[in-house]
Amino acid sequence: MPAQQLLDRAQEIAPRIISLRRAIHAEPELGLDTPLTLGKVRAELADLPLEWREATSCTGAVAVLKGARPGPAVLLRGDMDALPMAEHTGLEFASRIAGRMHACGHDTHTAMLAGAARLVAARQGDFAGEVHFMFQPGEEGFHGARFMIEDGLLDPLPAAAFALHVMPNYRHGVLASRTGALLAAADKLDIVVDGQGGHASMPHHARDPVPVACEIVTAIQSLVTRRYSATEATVVTVSQLEAGSAHNIIPDQAILRGTIRSLSPERRQAVRNDLRRLAEGIAQAHECRASVTITEGFPPTINDARAVEFAAAVAAELPGGLYETLDHPIMGAEDFSYVLEKVPGAMAFLGVAPEGSDWESCCGIHSSRMIVDEAVLPRGSAFLAGCALRYLERGWD
């Protein structure tokens, strides 16, 4: 199907895509347990010849569409979970559940993927191979993609994988990506400094952990700027410092918490090692003790060069041809990275700021006032469907 026809067909089913998006948005679910969202998806796609595989460790599912003849498999992914935050958009379909909001666009990702399934199903008799539509919960820090992989839902592994992420403060309708690191690894940092408490008027009789913790924070800034090359971004942010119970008491303990962002497995490991050495060494110099705990989050999202070139070609063939190459990675994180560790593929961003708006001033993801221009969603469905159909027709060419 030519790109023009694909986008035209996506526009025809736009009411279905938008209706599903709004239904999911109004009833957001968190974490690995999204049965209502999956139920809405299955109901919307009930008339299609899909074979459903459901996870055992979460509410994830893969819908398989088999073509007319055997061939390779392509995976398209959309995530389903929301964020634990209040919504302040004023939309008529705003969240009906207090303290929950689709502020990262996963409602749109799921709806666009469902739209892509309908577009591809219309071509079922024309292609050889399979398209796997991965509806995934638990992207917001819950490792949903990893759980689905461990459940065997991607076995045997597909030949290629693609995903979209909306950007509400990026130009209307523009698709954007880059080769290599697109998004960062995200690890959680906890440092506990143990000293010896005492009276605040007599610090020489104590071992105060508070200035030690402060020294560690300052040293981390120097570590990042002086030990690592600026050509590969690294971020270590200490976002919490807890210590003490009163103005005249030196506490026994101070606690630091934060995040580590890195763009390669090698840098990720180096930062971990250096943080341990730094914190332990500073604490020891002051006759205190520091224990460092690093909780592993998502790995870096690394796009395959062939897949990025391929996705750019698909985007360019869509009417409007709106594709841009990102100059640098974004230091957020995504658990589609687990898929890309095993399958060559790419994630791209889709700008959903209102057409003609001052897009840079629009609220970004994770904002309680984030707004999506739903007119862009058919383009996302057409792009995903185009990636699957083009790959099954000609591979990476």
Residue 397: alpha-carbon gap to chain centroid: 28
Q: What is the pLDDT of residues 329-384, one digit of tens each?
A: 999 999 999 999 999 999 999 999 998 889 989 999 999 999 999 999 999 999 99
Cα distances (Å, whole numbers) of residue 146 to 57, 73, 151, 336: 10, 19, 9, 9
Burial of 310-319, coded b for 16+ CB within 10 Å and e otherwise, reads bbbebbebbe
Residue 44: per-residue pLDDT? 98
Residue 231: per-residue pLDDT? 87
Residues forming beta bridges with residue 135, ordered by sequence position: 61, 78
Residue 381: give its domain's CATH number. 3.40.630.10
The whole-chain average pLDDT of the chain stands at 96
Range of the domain at 230: 185-295
Rounded distance between C-alpha atoms, residue 127 and residue 74, angstroms: 12
Please indicate, yes or no, whether residues 231 and 346 belong to a single structural domain of this protein.
Answer: no
C-alpha dihedral, 196 to 199 to 203 to 208, nearest 10°: 30
Q: Which of 71, 138, 131, 91 is nearest to 338 (CA)?
A: 138
pLDDT of residue 148 exceeding 90, the answer is yes
Q: Which of 245, 241, 244 is nearest to 255 (CA)?
A: 241
Sign of the dihedral defined by the CA atoms of residues 145, 342, 181, 109, in that order = negative
pTM: 0.94
Please indicate, yes or no, whether residues 41 and 168 belong to a single structural domain of this protein.
Answer: yes
pLDDT band for position 115 (50/70/90)? very high
Cα distances (Å, whole numbers) of residue 355 to 172, 325, 359, 360: 5, 20, 8, 12
Domain C-terminal end among 261, 295, 329: 295
Place of tokens 């594709």: 323
Please indicate, yes or no, whether residues 321 and 288 belong to a single structural domain of this protein.
Answer: no
Please indicate, yes or no, whether residues 246 and 233 belong to a single structural domain of this protein.
Answer: yes
Q: Which of 235, 225, 114, 237 is nearest to 164 (CA)?
A: 114
C-alpha dihedral, 139 to 143 to 148 to 151, nearest 10°: -160
Please indicate, yes or no, whether residues 230 and 112 belong to a single structural domain of this protein.
Answer: no
DSSP state of 85: S
Do 22 and 111 form a contact (C-beta atoms < 8 A)? no
Task: Please state, as a whole number, how many other Cβ atoms lie within 10 Å of the Cβ of residue 237.
Answer: 15
Please indicate, yes or no, whether residues 172 and 241 belong to a single structural domain of this protein.
Answer: no
Cα distances (Å, whole numbers) of residue 199 to 193, 214, 241, 250, 284: 18, 19, 20, 6, 22
Could you give the count of Cα atoms lying within 13 Å of 392 in the half-sphere of its Cβ? Answer: 31
Residue 177: per-residue pLDDT? 98
Do 297 and 188 form a contact (C-beta atoms < 8 A)? yes
Structure tokens at 227: 């030990």
pLDDT cut 70: percent of the chain above it: 100
Please indicate, yes or no, whether residues 160 and 291 belong to a single structural domain of this protein.
Answer: no
pLDDT of residue 1 exceeding 70, the answer is no
Residues forming beta bridges with residue 253, ordered by sequence position: 194
Rounded distance between C-alpha atoms, residue 342 and residue 103, angstroms: 28
Domain C-terminal end among 295, 314, 347: 295
Rounded distance between C-alpha atoms, residue 27 and residue 132, angstroms: 26
Amino acid at 318: L
Domain C-terminal end among 295, 317, 352: 295
How many domains, in total, are found in the chain? Answer: 2
Strand 301-303 with 180-183, pairing: antiparallel
Structure tokens at 200: 């605040």
Residue 307: per-residue pLDDT? 98
